[in-house]
Amino acid sequence: MLLSQLKLTSDQKIEHRILTAAEHLFAVQGYERTTTKQLAELSKVAEGTLFRHFESKKTILAAVMSRGWDALLDDLIETLCEVSDCQDMVGLLRHRLQDVHRHADLIKVCLLQTPFHPELCEAIQQKRLKQMLDVLEAYIQTGIDRGCYRPLKAANVAQVLLVIFLGMSWFDNPLLNAQDIPQAEIQISETLADILMNGLLLHS
Amino acid sequence: MLLSQLKLTSDQKIEHRILTAAEHLFAVQGYERTTTKQLAELSKVAEGTLFRHFESKKTILAAVMSRGWDALLDDLIETLCEVSDCQDMVGLLRHRLQDVHRHADLIKVCLLQTPFHPELCEAIQQKRLKQMLDVLEAYIQTGIDRGCYRPLKAANVAQVLLVIFLGMSWFDNPLLNAQDIPQAEIQISETLADILMNGLLLHS
Amino acid sequence: MLLSQLKLTSDQKIEHRILTAAEHLFAVQGYERTTTKQLAELSKVAEGTLFRHFESKKTILAAVMSRGWDALLDDLIETLCEVSDCQDMVGLLRHRLQDVHRHADLIKVCLLQTPFHPELCEAIQQKRLKQMLDVLEAYIQTGIDRGCYRPLKAANVAQVLLVIFLGMSWFDNPLLNAQDIPQAEIQISETLADILMNGLLLHS
Amino acid sequence: MLLSQLKLTSDQKIEHRILTAAEHLFAVQGYERTTTKQLAELSKVAEGTLFRHFESKKTILAAVMSRGWDALLDDLIETLCEVSDCQDMVGLLRHRLQDVHRHADLIKVCLLQTPFHPELCEAIQQKRLKQMLDVLEAYIQTGIDRGCYRPLKAANVAQVLLVIFLGMSWFDNPLLNAQDIPQAEIQISETLADILMNGLLLHS
DNA sequence: AATGAATGAGCGTTCATTCAT
DNA sequence: TATGAATGAACGCTCATTCAT
């Protein structure tokens, strides 16, 4: 039992190394431009070993995405827990900004590879995305119930926030970062917080 | 002179065909998965001909992107012109939503290929993105000056809107469309318009 | 027209080179042990060129077999024509022996690769094998009609001859050749001719 | 001593399982297409264990062939013993036909893999083939001595019979079986018996 | 002795690019 | 100028063999 546990642990270690390497390489170079050779080198395993642990290169992508959406959902839940004050939109977006940077690789893989692998969305992302909408909706609904937010339909607001969160992922993108807006992200996100706050708050 | 012009014209025609084919194929399959063979077939030219008009496959991507950002900028300017009433945020986002669908291919190519080809961003997108920010800023500033919007820093608001516009691009993505949100886009965008309007408008 | 013919000719030349190389390598090393790299080297083309002319390695095998069975059928017909004297069984088997050696590679490929590629048999070999049986049957029937052979069922005798002809293919095989029977083939085939002749001839 | 014998016995048991699995897989899929993984699975041993009992995959083939030729020789001897009536050529070929089907796997491996592994022929098959020729020769010689067969050179006739026996191996081959000759094997073999009988018998 | 995870050379195949026509 | 056949490096993946357990 101990032995089999050890083996399993050793197994997970390799898989973990592979997935971590894949997450990074897929994010930086894209899925297609990343070769299994590079994956093996960065994972410090032989190329053949990749295929002992994953059926194909595509399976590795699926695993990275699966793990990724779990992490993103966890992030979101944690953020909403920590920023329980429904007036603290600044805190919320600041958290999100940190998440965007902390999980920069994950986000790139999960969001950018999606359109070309629709079959990978169905099982995994939908479930996670649905959960994200649910926790966001509960968060908003709480704010509305407390008389903090305007009595909008919470589900719709949740979707709006999700789209904004997705939009913020672009921050970690040469498109925006190469601009003459060094660290302007903070300005943007705080202006965004200001606007959203004003737009959501019930003006008594 | 006439002959060379004719040739040049004929040349442009081929280039146009190639770029149109490329835009579509790159959007649907991604840049890497699109072969020059497919490109040639859809363009109705021989494979070798591609390389008489473009240095390499990558150059074709650069050209598609360049053309794409021009179109996106034109779209934005046109939208802002048509929706000159600064209270009509609903109209603005509805326009944007139409643009997202009309230029679905373009957006996919311009936004999704960007992170993996940062060198293509520098020359082209930055200029266009800067112009977009400029026209958005002018649009906002006008609203502020008219006493319509709250006296926020127009440049920051412009960046916020740009991020929101980018975020709306996700609408055309299996990630969101496969959800149980059929046509919910309209709901989302109108809720978004509502929130932004409330957040931006000067509450007299 | 001339140009296209030239191109076509040049094409056929390459395909011919590939098929000839394949025939030899498949015969000597077997299909599986022959790499496309070797095929390309012996054909004096680049590896990629193989796949311009043939869909896959297996298609090359199919083409070799197809060509092979045509040649074997031609051989048989020619043999039967030249040995029209139905008493000259020695001549017939001597011809066959020559054919076995002349088309040693072809025979190896056609006969030995067959069991592992049954799908390649259906379209090609069956037709040819049927034709072989037909010409053999006609040959035998003529002999019977002339009162030369015993009045056996010609179709059955044709099958017997075919099996004997196939058996003679083993002559070109380390199994038999490595024996201490140098050139004993001739003895065997002449004894065989003797026996068959006695067995077939009508003893008046 | 007892323990080592037990171990040895256990060893032989595994080897037996491996060889039986190999015989079947090599016959059905060919040597090259059979992986050591499949071999291990069918043998119910671990992949590594194969290499404790056999130096390499090729050694397994050699062992299968060696065992195979022994069985084929035994078959032949048994057949000749049971069909001691030298006029019963029909019985002889009928026996052979049964052997062909009973040892279909063995025959495929021994005959079809031979040309691609000539080094495996030298030590094993030659000896067995020689023995086969010897028993056949003795069988024929007895028939001649009894005044049953024509006074041909027995050694030559033995070779003829061997070639015919080899040829009959083709019966178990898609090449012949896919023909519109359902069960025609029996017809062929009986016609063959008829012809040989007539060809060999001394017409008094 | 038996295991099965790890290995990495080598496979069949693809495809951006070149160049003779 | 336009063509498309030829190229060959590089790809994802397989599998006989090794070796730590």
Annotated domain spans of chain D: 1-54, 65-200
Count the neighbouring beta carbons within 10 Å of the beta carbon of residue D195: 25
Q: What is the pLDDT of residue B90?
A: 84
Evaluate whether B75 touches B37 at the Cβ level (below 8 Å): no
Q: What is the pLDDT of residue D171?
A: 78
Highest mean pLDDT among C124-138, C173-187, D131-145: D131-145
Count the neighbouring beta carbons within 10 Å of the beta carbon of residue A151: 9
Mark whether D and C touch (3+ CB pairs within 8 Å).
Answer: yes
Taking the C-alpha atoms of residue C67 and residue C107, their distance in angstroms, rounded to an integer, is 11
Q: Do C178 and D126 count as a contact with CB atoms less than 8 A apart?
A: yes
Candidate from A116, A125, A191 with C-beta closest to B33? A116
**Average pLDDT, integer, range B53-77:** 93
Q: Rounded mean pLDDT of chain A?
A: 84
Better-scored residue on pLDDT, A57 or A85:
A57
Better-scored residue on pLDDT, B181 or D177:
D177
What 8-state DSSP symbol labels residue D173?
Answer: S
- DSSP letters for C23-90: HHHHHHH-TTT--HHHHHHHHTS-HHHHHHHSSSHHHHHHHHHHHHHHHHHHHHHHHHHHT--TT-HH
Q: How far is CA A63 from the centre of its chain?
A: 14
pLDDT of residue C10 exceeding 70, the answer is no
Q: Å from C112 to nearest chain D CA?
A: 6
- B64-200 — its CATH code? 1.10.357
**Average pLDDT, integer, range D34-39:** 97
pLDDT of residue A94 exceeding 90, the answer is no
Q: Å from D11 to nearest chain C CA?
A: 31
Count the neighbouring beta carbons within 10 Å of the beta carbon of residue C85: 11
pLDDT of residue A81 exceeding 50, the answer is yes
Establish, for the pair of chains A and B, how many residue pairs have beta carbons separated by less than 8 Å. Answer: 148
Report the chain D residue with the minimal C-alpha distance to residue C133. Answer: D179
Side chain identity, residue C155: A
Better-scored residue on pLDDT, A175 or A81:
A81
pLDDT of residue B1 exceeding 50, the answer is no
Q: Do C188 and D129 count as a contact with CB atoms less than 8 A apart?
A: no
Q: Do C179 and D130 count as a contact with CB atoms less than 8 A apart?
A: yes
Closest CA to B91 of B189, B157, B202, B201: B189
B91-142 residue pLDDT tens? 888 888 888 888 889 988 988 888 898 888 777 777 888 888 899 999 999 9
- Show residues of chain B in contact with A191, CB under 8 Å: 152-153, 156-157, 159-160
Band of residue A6 on the pLDDT scale cut at 50, 70, 90: very low
Evaluate whether C115 touches D108 at the Cβ level (below 8 Å): yes
Q: What is the pLDDT of residue C118?
A: 85
Mutation target for D interface from C61, C191, C197, C202: give the one with most D CBs within 10 A.
C191
Taking the C-alpha atoms of residue A198 and residue B195, their distance in angstroms, rounded to an integer, is 8
Evaluate whether C200 touches D142 at the Cβ level (below 8 Å): no
Q: Is residue D34 helix, strand or coil?
A: coil
Q: Is residue D33 helix, strand or coil?
A: coil
Taking the C-alpha atoms of residue A123 and residue A131, their distance in angstroms, rounded to an integer, is 13
Closest CA to D18 of D42, D34, D52: D42
Q: Is residue C149 helix, strand or coil?
A: strand
| Strand F bases within 7 angstroms of protein beta carbons | 1-21
* Residues β-bridged to residue D201: D149
Taking the C-alpha atoms of residue A29 and residue A20, their distance in angstroms, rounded to an integer, is 14
Q: Rounded mean pLDDT of chain C?
A: 84
Closest CA to C21 of C41, C3, C1: C41
Which C residues between 28 and 87 have a beta carbon under 7 A from any strand F atom?
45-49, 51-53
Better-scored residue on pLDDT, B18 or A4:
B18
Q: Which of C25-29, D6-10, D146-150 has the lowest mean pLDDT?
A: D6-10
Q: Is residue D27 helix, strand or coil?
A: helix
Taking the C-alpha atoms of residue C44 and residue C13, their distance in angstroms, rounded to an integer, is 11
A19-72 residue pLDDT tens? 999 999 999 999 999 999 999 999 999 999 999 999 999 999 999 999 999 999
List the single protein residue with the shortest CA to C1' distance from E15.
B35
Q: Do C166 and D164 count as a contact with CB atoms less than 8 A apart?
A: no
Is there contact between A58 and strand F, defined as CB under 7 Å from any strand atom? yes
Closest CA to C109 of C62, C76, C154: C62
Q: What are the tokens at A16? A: 């973990």
Break chain C down into helix, strand, coil percent, rounded to 5: 80, 0, 20
What 8-state DSSP symbol labels residue D147?
Answer: T
Angle between helices D154-168 and D184-200 (to 10 degrees): 170
D189 burial level (CB within 10 Å; 0-12, 13-18, 19+): buried
Report the chain B residue with the minimal C-alpha distance to residue A198. Answer: B199
CA D52 to C1' E8 (Å) is: 22
- Show residues of chain A in contact with B156, CB under 8 Å: 187-188, 191
Taking the C-alpha atoms of residue C116 and residue B70, their distance in angstroms, rounded to an integer, is 59
Count the neighbouring beta carbons within 10 Å of the beta carbon of residue C43: 24
Q: Is residue D7 helix, strand or coil?
A: helix
Evaluate whether B64 touches B18 at the Cβ level (below 8 Å): no
Highest mean pLDDT among B53-62, D71-80, D109-118: B53-62
Band of residue B200 on the pLDDT scale cut at 50, 70, 90: low
Q: Which long-range contacts (CB under 8 A, 24 or more apart) does A141-146 make?
A: A142/A86, A143/A86, A143/A200, A146/A86
D187-202 residue pLDDT tens? 888 888 888 888 766 6
**Average pLDDT, integer, range A80-91:** 85
Q: Do D112 and C108 count as a contact with CB atoms less than 8 A apart?
A: no
- Show residues of chain C in contact with D29, CB under 8 Å: 116
Domain at D65-200, CATH class: mainly alpha
pLDDT of residue C11 exceeding 70, the answer is no
3-state SS of chain B is CHHHHHHHHHHHHHHHHHHHHHHHHHHHHCCCCCCHHHHHHHHCCCHHHHHHHCCCHHHHHHHHHHHHHHHHHHHHHHHHHHCCCCCCHHHHHHHHHHHHHHCHHHHHHHHHCHHHCHHHHHHHHHHHHHHHHHHHHHHHHHHHHCCCECCCCHHHHHHHHHHHHHHHHHHCCHHHHCCCCCCHHHHHHHHHHHHHHHHHECCC
Cα dihedral B133, B134, B139, B145 in deg (nearest 10):
120
Q: What is the pLDDT of residue A1?
A: 35
Q: What is the pLDDT of residue A4?
A: 33
Q: What are the tokens at A176? A: 């925006």
Report the chain B residue with the minimal C-alpha distance to residue A116. Answer: B29
C-alpha distances (whole Å) from B124 to each of A108, B118, B130, C179 are: 22, 11, 10, 78
Residues sharing a CB contact under 8 Å with residue C58, sequence separation 6 or more, in sequence order: C117
Q: What is the pLDDT of residue A10?
A: 47
Taking the C-alpha atoms of residue A79 and residue A82, their distance in angstroms, rounded to an integer, is 5
Q: Where are the alpha helices (DSSP H) in chain D?
A: 2-29, 36-43, 47-53, 57-82, 89-102, 104-107, 118-120, 126-145, 154-168, 174-177, 184-200
Q: How far is CA C199 from the centre of its chain?
A: 26
CA A13 to C1' E13 (Å) is: 33
C68-77 residue pLDDT tens? 999 999 988 9
Highest mean pLDDT among A80-94, B20-34, D1-15: B20-34
Q: What is the pLDDT of residue B114?
A: 87
Which B residues between 1 and 20 have a beta carbon under 7 A from any strand F atom?
7, 10-11, 14
3-state SS of chain A is CHHHHHHHHHHHHHHHHHHHHHHHHHHHHCCCCCCHHHHHHHHCCCHHHHHHHCCCHHHHHHHHHHHHHHHHHHHHHHHHHHCCCCCCHHHHHHHHHHHHHHCHHHHHHHHHCHHHCHHHHHHHHHHHHHHHHHHHHHHHHHHHHCCCECCCCHHHHHHHHHHHHHHHHHHHCHHHHCCCCCCHHHHHHHHHHHHHHHHHECCC
Candidate from C116, C188, C194 with C-beta closest to D163? C188
Taking the C-alpha atoms of residue A85 and residue A63, their distance in angstroms, rounded to an integer, is 35
Which B residues between 23 and 82 have a beta carbon under 7 A from any strand F atom?
45-49, 51-53
Q: What are the tokens at A18? A: 């592979």
Taking the C-alpha atoms of residue A114 and residue B112, their distance in angstroms, rounded to an integer, is 10
**Average pLDDT, integer, range D88-108:** 87
B166 burial level (CB within 10 Å; 0-12, 13-18, 19+): buried
- DSSP letters for D96-142: HHHHHHHTHHHHIIIIISGGG-HHHIIIIIHHHHHHHHHHHHHHHHH
Quote the percentage of chain D above a pLDDT of 90. Answer: 31
Q: What is the pLDDT of residue C3?
A: 33
Report the chain B residue with the minimal C-alpha distance to residue A156. Answer: B188
Q: Does this model's pTM top 0.85?
A: yes
Q: Which of B39-43, B173-177, D16-20 has the lowest mean pLDDT?
A: B173-177
Report the chain B residue with the minimal C-alpha distance to residue A25. Answer: B116
Q: C1-54: what fold?
A: Arc Repressor Mutant, subunit A (1.10.10)
Q: Å from A148 to nearest chain B CA?
A: 14
| Strand E bases within 7 angstroms of protein beta carbons | 1-21
Q: Do A196 and B195 count as a contact with CB atoms less than 8 A apart?
A: yes
Q: A58-200: what fold?
A: Tetracycline Repressor; domain 2 (1.10.357)
